Every structure is written in C-alpha cells, then in structure tokens.
C-alpha cells in the first residue's frame, strides 16, 4: 500500500508533534508516524503521574492540539526502515509494509540512551535510566523495590523522582560529572526556570543521597541483579539493590537522516536556520540536531513544520527563541561530558555486543568498526550496533560505519515490496 501526504513527520515525540501541528495548521495534509503504540516520544510516554508540573501541562496542551486536528493522520506502531526512492519512505506497521510518498519530510527521530558496558550490565534487573522509567510507565510495579540510579545527565534526577513517586526505594543517585561542573551549570541557568525545575526534582528526591563524581563499576547477581559496586575514583563500595537504572546521557537517532544522505557533524544532523538539512525537502528537528531537552525540541519542531509548509515568515519569527534554547544545549554537553575513567569500565570478559555476546577482550584487538564487525560479528545482530556502536564510539573513538537499509529488522515480505502482505508468522529477524 502506498499513501501520499504533503508532509510526512517521522517521530511523534515533542519535536514531531510540534512539527505536525504547525504544518497542519497551515492547511497541509500531514502524516505523523511513530514506532510506539501512542504519541509522546520519550518524555511524554504513558499516563501522567499525580504530580502536575510544567512537563505534564505541556503534554496535555500538545496532545490536545494534535488530536483535534483532522489534517493529521497518526500512524502508531509504524517504523520507517528504508528509503526506496525519491520522496518515498518504506515503513512497517503490524507486520505489513506501508510506503509513504511526501513532498516534504521532517525527521524528528529523537535520541536513545548511551549505555557503557561494565561487568554485570547484561543481568536481568539492569535497565537504562529512561528504560526503567519507561517500564514503570508501562505497568511494572516497583513498590518497595530497592533501586540505584546511576550514569549521567539531567535525566537521572527526573527518573529518580518518578521512581520515588511510584513507591520505589531509591537508595542512591550517582552522577559521573563532578560537583564542579554541576555547580557551574547551576550558575549558568540560575536566571532561568530550569534551575527551579532542577531544584524541584532534587526536592522530590530529598532523603536520597546524591553523589556527584560517582559511577557504577560492576553489577552482581546470579540470575538477576543483587547489588552494584560504585566508585568515586578513590573508593569503591557495594550497594544491595533489586534494580539498577543506568544510562550515560543521550545519543541522537541519525540512521534515517544518514540513509537520506543528510550531512552529520560530530554525530548530529546539520541544519540551516529553518531546520532544513543539506538535502532538498528534508527537514530535521529535535534531538538529532543536538541534545537540548523538551523546550528546544518543541521550538525546533515548530520552525521545521512551518518551514516545510512554506510559512517562512512565521518560521523566522520563532528563530530567536529557538536560538536562546540552543545555548542551553551547549551547556548540557559541557556539563555532562564523560570522564576519562569511564574508558576503563569494560573488563576483558565484559560483553560489549549484547546481540552476539562479543567480549571487550575480543573486540578491542581491532583497529576499527569495519574489521571488528567482519571478524567478530560485533554490531551485526538485530540492534545493528545501536548499543555497542555508540559505546565503542566513546570507548575506542571508532567512527560509525555507513548506514545501510533496512535500518531496522523487518519481515522478508516487507523487504520484498509494498504490495506483498505478510502473515505475522512469516516475520523473521533479518540480519544484514
């Protein structure tokens, strides 16, 4: 099946929702598609909690604006995996292939967490930081569970606050960045509402020790997690826990942008003042252009949606506000830069590639990604190197290999073309 739209927006997080609304309000026919079962992206996932803050108010406002616009067709559980031709995207929904024709496309594919391999990180009970939050939002009960939250980035405190409110006993929050960087960051945002937001999270996690300059070095357990060893560089100590929520800030999802031929700089998609990439008719907004949080994603989404709809004046009017928010993104990158000590987190028999169980001993013998892939299958499993590739980019400074379709494993029938229809039984993991 092939469907045609004026504008196709890939990703229904804040950036994609803002882009879709802005474009549809200019009279364009818009498709908004997302892999998840519902719109909202990472931050607006699942039902709202009892705690009413700026985030949940923005969520209600934007979801209302989205739902009441009949010019937007929302496609959920729908994942773009290929670019079969000019102005065309191939997606899979419910095991069926759907092709989407567009005049303009907005890439709002967001970010994923950066995970670094350490001994024990493959044990059941070890989750990403946002990962555990997403599980709880999806119904996982954590009442009275002992949780350690560790890694890096502003997400840690948000996750800890959320877990506390859902009944978990959060025994520690460990941020690898030093107190010095955090205080400098605090001073730089002192004149903005963000300091209040940070202070709010800290208030909601009062009673839970917050360690700066501290990171996890090993997780222990038999079949599931039992404890985690933490380090501050001079001392190590072990904390018993049922769950570990651990992520080292975010990396952008740029696979689709790469497949479309967009230019990346230092891992991020290059865009002009109107969020247009160097490829004609392709716009990009939100985390793929830089990690800057909710407000920047919304601001970029609006500019991209308006520009894609041809409302250039309206788009230009929003540029100054977006640029102010970008300054904050630059601060984030400096504050949460990863420390040198993390380069030695992986030990010889630590599994680096979770799909193919390739260890650090094996993979670190190679000089680059391509050779390691060919010789060890590292990065050749179904995640296609999204976990180990990002880790090795940090650990060994390996630059990513070129992106080839399909960017996600799909059924053989979907690969074959848009007219074929496949029963679910036929779906198989396609390894490239």
Partner 1 sequence: MTDTVRLTVNGRALTVPAGATVAVALAIAGAACRTSVSGEPRAAFCAMGICFECRAIVDGGPHQRTCQIVCRDGMEVRTE
Ligand X SMILES: Cc1cc2nc3c(=O)[nH]c(=O)nc-3n(C[C@H](O)[C@H](O)[C@H](O)COP(=O)(O)OP(=O)(O)OC[C@H]3O[C@@H](n4cnc5c(N)ncnc54)[C@H](O)[C@@H]3O)c2cc1C
Query: Least distance to partner 1 from the beta carbon of 361, Å?
Result: 13
In degrees and rounded to multiples of 5, residue 30 shows phi and psi of -120, 140
Q: How far is the CB of 242 from partner 1 (least distance, A)?
A: 11
Report CA torsion sign: 277, 282, 283, 288.
negative
Between CA 55 and CA 62 the distance in angstroms is 11
**Smaller CB distance to partner 1: residue 190 or 424?**
424
Closer to ligand X at the Cβ: 8 or 342?
Answer: 8
Select from ligand X, partner 1, none the partner in contact with residue 286, using the beta carbon and a kind-dependent cut-off of 5 to 8 Å: ligand X
Q: How far apart are CA 87 and CA 6, in angstroms?
A: 10
Interacting residues toward ligand X by CB under 6 A: 10-16, 33-36, 41-43, 79-80, 108-113, 130, 133-134, 155, 158, 250, 253, 256, 286-287, 293-294, 297
Name which of 128 and 418 has its Cβ closer to partner 1: 128
47: partner contacted, choices partner 1, ligand X, none (Cβ within 5-8 A by kind): partner 1
Residue 317 or 429 with smaller CB distance to partner 1: 429
Residue 125 binds: one of ligand X, partner 1, none (C-beta under 5 to 8 A by kind): partner 1
Partner touching 209 among ligand X, partner 1, none, CB below 5 to 8 Å by kind = none
109 makes contact, choosing from partner 1, ligand X, none, with CB < 5 to 8 Å by partner type, with: ligand X
- State how far the Cα of 310 lies from the Cα of 213, in Å rounded to an integer: 48
Among 198, 190, 142, 194, which residue's Cα sits nearest to residue 167? 142
Can you read off the two tokens belonging to residue 64? 């209302």
Q: What is the rounded radius of gyration, in angstroms, for the C-alpha atoms of the chain?
A: 21
Nearest approach, Cβ of residue 335 and partner 1 (Å): 24
Two structure tokens written together for 4: 């045609």
Is the CB of 99 or the CB of 113 nearer to ligand X? 113
Tell me which residue has tokens 């179904």.
Answer: 382
Nearer to ligand X, 250 or 311 (CB): 250
Q: Taking CB within 5 to 8 Å according to partner kind, which of partner 1, ligand X, none is near residue 95?
A: partner 1
Dump the DSSP string for 237-299. EEEE-SEEEEEESEEE--HHHHHTT--EETTEE---TTSB-SSTTEEE-SGGG----HHHHHH
Q: For residue 385, give every residue at least 6 positions away whose Cβ sits within 8 Å of its Cβ, in sequence order, or none.
A: 353, 369, 373, 378, 379, 400, 401
- Could you tell which of ligand X, partner 1, none binds residue 77, using a CB distance below 5 to 8 A set by kind? partner 1
Residue 170 Cβ, how far from partner 1 at the closest point, in Å?
Answer: 18
Taking the complex as a whole, how short is the minimal distance between the CB of residue 429 and partner 1, in angstroms? 5
Cα(8)–Cα(27) distance, integer angstroms: 14
Q: How far is it between the farthest Cα atoms of the chain? A: 62
Q: For residues 258 and 246, is the Cβ–Cβ distance under 8 A?
A: no
Contact 197, 186 (CB under 8 A): no
Q: Which residues bind partner 1 (CB under 8 A)?
A: 35-37, 42, 46-47, 77, 79, 95, 112-113, 115, 122, 124-128, 130-132, 134-135, 138-141, 223, 351, 354-357, 381-383, 386-387, 409, 424-425, 427-429
């Amino acid at each position: 099946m092939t469907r045609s739209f004026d504008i196709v927006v890939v990703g229904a997080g804040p950036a994609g929702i803002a882009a879709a609304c802005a474009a549809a309000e200019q009279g364009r026919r818009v498709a908004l598609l997302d892999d998840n079962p519902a719109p909202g992206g990472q931050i607006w996932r699942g039902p709202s909690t009892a705690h009413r803050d700026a985030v949940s108010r923005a969520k209600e406002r934007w979801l209302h604006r989205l739902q009441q616009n009949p010019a937007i067709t929302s496609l959920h559980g729908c994942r773009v995996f290929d670019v079969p031709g000019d102005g065309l995207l191939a997606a899979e929904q419910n095991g069926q292939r759907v092709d989407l024709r567009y005049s303009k496309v907005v890439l709002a594919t967001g970010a994923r967490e950066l995970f670094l391999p350490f001994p024990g990180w493959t044990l059941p009970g070890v989750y990403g930081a946002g990962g555990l939050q997403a599980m709880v939002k999806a119904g996982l009960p954590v009442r009275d569970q002992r949780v350690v939250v560790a890694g890096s980035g502003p997400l840690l405190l948000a996750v800890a606050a959320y877990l506390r409110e859902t009944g978990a006993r959060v025994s520690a929050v460990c941020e690898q960045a030093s107190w010095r960087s955090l205080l400098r960051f605090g001073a730089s945002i002192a004149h903005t509402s963000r300091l209040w937001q940070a202070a709010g999270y800290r208030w909601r996690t009062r009673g839970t020790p917050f360690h700066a300059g501290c990171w996890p070095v090993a997780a222990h357990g038999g079949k599931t997690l039992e404890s985690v060893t933490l380090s501050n560089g001079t001392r190590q100590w072990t904390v018993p826990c049922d769950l570990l929520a651990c992520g080292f800030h975010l990396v952008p999802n740029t696979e689709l942008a790469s497949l479309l031929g967009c230019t990346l700089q230092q891992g991020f998609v290059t865009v002009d003042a109107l969020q247009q990439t160097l490829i004609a008719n392709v716009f990009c907004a939100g985390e793929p252009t830089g990690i800057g949080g909710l407000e920047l994603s919304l601001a970029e989404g609006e500019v991209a949606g308006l520009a894609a709809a041809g409302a250039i004046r309206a788009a230009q009017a929003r540029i100054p506000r977006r640029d102010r928010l970008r300054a904050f993104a630059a601060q984030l990158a400096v504050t949460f830069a990863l420390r040198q000590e993390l380069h030695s987190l992986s030990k010889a028999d630590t599994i680096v590639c979770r799909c193919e169980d390739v260890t650090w001993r094996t993979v670190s013998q190679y000089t680059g990604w391509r050779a390691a892939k060919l010789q060890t299958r590292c990065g050749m499993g179904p995640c296609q190197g999204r976990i180990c590739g990002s880790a090795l980019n940090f650990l060994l400074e390996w630059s990513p290999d070129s992106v080839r379709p399909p960017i996600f494993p799909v059924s053989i029938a979907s690969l074959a073309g848009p007219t074929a229809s496949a029963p679910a039984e036929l779906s198989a993991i396609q390894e490239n």
